[in-house]
Structure 1
Amino acid sequence: MSSGGERLGVFGGTFDPPHTGHLVAAVNVRYELGLDRVLLVVANDPWQKSADHPVTPAADRLAMVEALVRDVEGLEASALEIERGGPSYAVDTLAQLAAADPGGRRFLIVGSDAAAGLLTWDRCHELPVLATLVLVDRPGVASASPPAGWEFERVEIPRLDISSTDLRRRAAHGRPLDGLVPPGVVSCIRERRIYREQP
């Protein structure tokens, strides 16, 4: 990890599967804010989702994210949360990255619709100390504002209505994912037969 004051985007998620919308968000935020890198941090146990429905194994989700960002300048897949194990909390990841690069700035990237739920995140009040919040807005989609007093930026990206639930269903039934998921991710899904066992 760099120790020289890096401007680092942190884009965490379940990525089940990662798709073109994730890629567009990461690329546009990096460009608009002049970030050195954006890490797509794969959750080990996304506790706010795994309690409600099964989640694809972390190793498969990491492989898909690696395929997503392969050959995309400035984007990297990160296994930090998988290596740490247990439930995944953004605050722990940001603290780990801050310790690795005390002089750097971190930018926590979330969909603007997620801003309304930030207060449900673990130790949420530590987040503004560790990172600047980046809200990704899509035209025509209502966006919430972060809690009062939080430093934040807004970045607008093209609207792409892609549902991970729909993608899993399509993959499970052998329907095409082309155009919704980059070719490398499609190949990864096929080679690892990631969604074929779903009903």
Structure 2
Amino acid sequence: MGKHERIGVFGGTFDPIHAKHLEIARAALQQAQLDRVLFVVAARPPHKRMAITADPEDRFAMVAAAVEGEPAFEASRVELDREGPSYTADTLAELHRLHPGAQFWMIIGLDSLVDLPKWRSPESILSQARPLVVPRPGKFTVPKQLEGKFDWLDLPETDISSTEARRRIQAGEALDDLLPDSVRRVIEQRGIYRAHSVHRKG
């Protein structure tokens, strides 16, 4: 498409990507009238407090499998192929270079939004992409400097996380509909999370 394309940027470790990630991306696509959503797989996110479990290439493989068959979704290597920490401002600058004339929206959880002023170059981030914010359970205070500078996604609050998905996999518990079948297959084929069997109920 090129100029005037509307692109959503969904960054994350995706360790692993799960059904809620896809639900969020579909909501962003529809509600913000985006042309496509890029799932940007982080290599070394500076803001992530917990250790990343899966190898970057394994995480990319899971995302690529999850978005296969979704024409408006794309797995992006923009951070994996760049050395050093994955700073959002740098990623957005690179995406603007790759997609000249495009407009960008950054899909982000409310818990991350409230910390955005502490990130590297927050003003640059906000000048390059408008946040699309996913509601989170709990109490959060949005910093005053962010008021009026983001849009909400109309989604129910959720606490489903990749941490819970990993816990269930490692415990051999049923995942119900938490992971797409394509992601389950990648986990089993590549032995990610040392999974012996990634299964559903029934």
Q: Same fold (TM over 0.5)?
A: yes
**Alignment partner of 2:114: what SS?**
helix
**Could you tell me the TM-score, scaled by structure 1's length?**
0.88
Q: How does 1:29-178 map to 2 (within 5 A)?
A: 29-49=28-48, 52-137=50-135, 141-145=138-142, 147-148=144-145, 151-178=149-176
Cα contact 1:11–1:40 (8 A) shared by 2: yes
- What letter corresponds to residue 15 of structure 2 in structure 1? D
Cα distance in structure 2, aligned partners of 1:103 and 1:152 = 20
Cα distance in structure 1, aligned partners of 2:140 and 2:69 = 31
Q: Which moved more, 1:69-78 or 1:144-153?
A: 144-153
Cα distance in structure 1, aligned partners of 2:23 and 2:17 = 11
Cα distance in structure 2, aligned partners of 1:21 and 1:144 = 24
Q: How does 1:12-31 map to 2 (within 5 A)?
A: 12-31=11-30
- What letter corresponds to residue 126 of structure 1 in structure 2? S
- What letter corresponds to residue 56 of structure 2 in structure 1? A
Cα contact 1:67–1:188 (8 A) shared by 2: yes
Q: 1:142 to 1:29 in 2, by over 3 A?
A: farther
**Alignment partner of 1:195: what SS?**
helix
Structure 1's consecutive aligned runs of 4 or more residues displaced over 6 angstroms after TM superposition are none
- What letter corresponds to residue 75 of structure 1 in structure 2? F
**Alignment partner of 2:145: what SS?**
coil
Task: Work out the number of aligned pairs and report it.
Answer: 194
Determine the structure 2 residue equivalent to 1:10: 9
Q: CA deviation at 1:175?
A: 2.1
| RMSD of aligned residue pairs (Cα, Å) | 2.0
Q: CA deviation at 1:147?
A: 5.0
Cα distance in structure 2, aligned partners of 1:127 and 1:184 = 33
Unaligned runs of 5+ in 2: 196-202
Q: 1:45 to 1:156 in 2, by over 3 A?
A: same
Query: Residues 56-82 of structure 1: CA distance to partner in whole angstroms, max 9, x if unpaired?
Result: 211000011111111123111111100
Cα contact 1:42–1:82 (8 A) shared by 2: yes
Q: Which moved more, 1:31-40 or 1:150-159?
A: 150-159
Cα contact 2:15–2:52 (8 A) shared by 1: no
- What letter corresponds to residue 142 of structure 2 in structure 1? S
